[in-house]
Chains A and B, each alone.
Chain A
Amino acid sequence: AQSVTQLDSHVSVSEGTPVLLRCNYSSSYSPSLFWYVQHPNKGLQLLLKYTSAATLVKGINGFEAEFKKSETSFHLTKPSAHMSDAAEYFCVVSDLGNKLVFGAGTILRVKS
């Protein structure tokens, strides 16, 4: 069965510094992977997705993620944090049966 582990429950960065949100996955098949963002009391919005094409995936708002099969990782990065990036981020894996498994989430805090 597939699973997702988000390695940090909270990450705090200063505005203008890089962001790294870590995600490891476990899957028996070649998975599809997603990152979603959720602002307080809102629904989730797709940031980016990986579906076995290029291993470096670019998303919205300057975010990108790299699929590393050897490390079973799909970490989310952004070169320079903005105050509006403060939110909760979810890593999601989809297996061959299209069932989605959500990570527990990482809350990103951006300090001015």
Chain B
Amino acid sequence: DGGITQSPKYLFRKEGQNVTLSCEQNLNHDAMYWYRQDPGQGLRLIYYSQIVNDFQKGDIAEGYSVSREKKESFPLTVTSAQKNPTAFYLCASTTGGGANVLTFGAGSRLTVL
């Protein structure tokens, strides 16, 4: 079945460490997104990519980095520069163009100890 796979589902990190969250899709979607979810704040856009080898900052990109070397993959690195990284991270994709529907992964919960 087509879908989006995020890993790991749960991740613990010590302060000062970088961590990378994986996002893989087999939907042949062009556009991919990373959102951060905090209780009572909805979803906030971190980065997005509409084609391979290109990506743009979203509303809260500081302290994060991404790459898009393959159409299927859009990993997110949470760097030590991110002041408050504990959150639920969601990856999504869409075919791109127009008000298309997003398909979401199951999310990764990052906790900084």
Interface size on A, residues (CB 8 A): 19
* A34 CB, nearest partner CB in chain B, Å: 7
> Could you say which residues of chain B place their CB within 8 Å of the CB of A43?
4, 90, 92, 104-107
Q: Is the CB of A42 within 8 A of B107?
A: yes
Number of interchain pairs (Cβ within 8 Å)? 45
From 58 to 112 in chain B, residues with beta carbon under 8 angstroms from any chain A beta carbon are: 88, 90, 92, 97-102, 104-107, 109
> Could you say which residues of chain A place their CB within 8 Å of the CB of B44?
102
> Could you say which residues of chain B place their CB within 8 Å of the CB of A45?
104
Interface size on B, residues (CB 8 A): 21
Q: Report Cα–Cα, A21/B88, bound state, in Å.
A: 24
> Could you say which residues of chain A place their CB within 8 Å of the CB of B45?
100
> Could you say which residues of chain A place their CB within 8 Å of the CB of B101?
34, 46, 49
Q: Is the CB of A44 within 8 A of B104?
A: yes
* B83 CB, nearest partner CB in chain A, Å: 21
What sequence of 0s and 1s flags, for each residue 29-57 of chain A, a beta carbon within 8 Å of any chain B beta carbon? 00010100000011111100101000000
* B30 CB, nearest partner CB in chain A, Å: 13
Q: Is the CB of A104 within 8 A of B41?
A: yes
Q: Is the CB of B42 within 8 A of A104?
A: yes
A-B contact pairs, 8 of them (CB 8 A): A43-B90, A46-B101, A46-B102, A98-B98, A100-B45, A102-B44, A103-B42, A104-B40
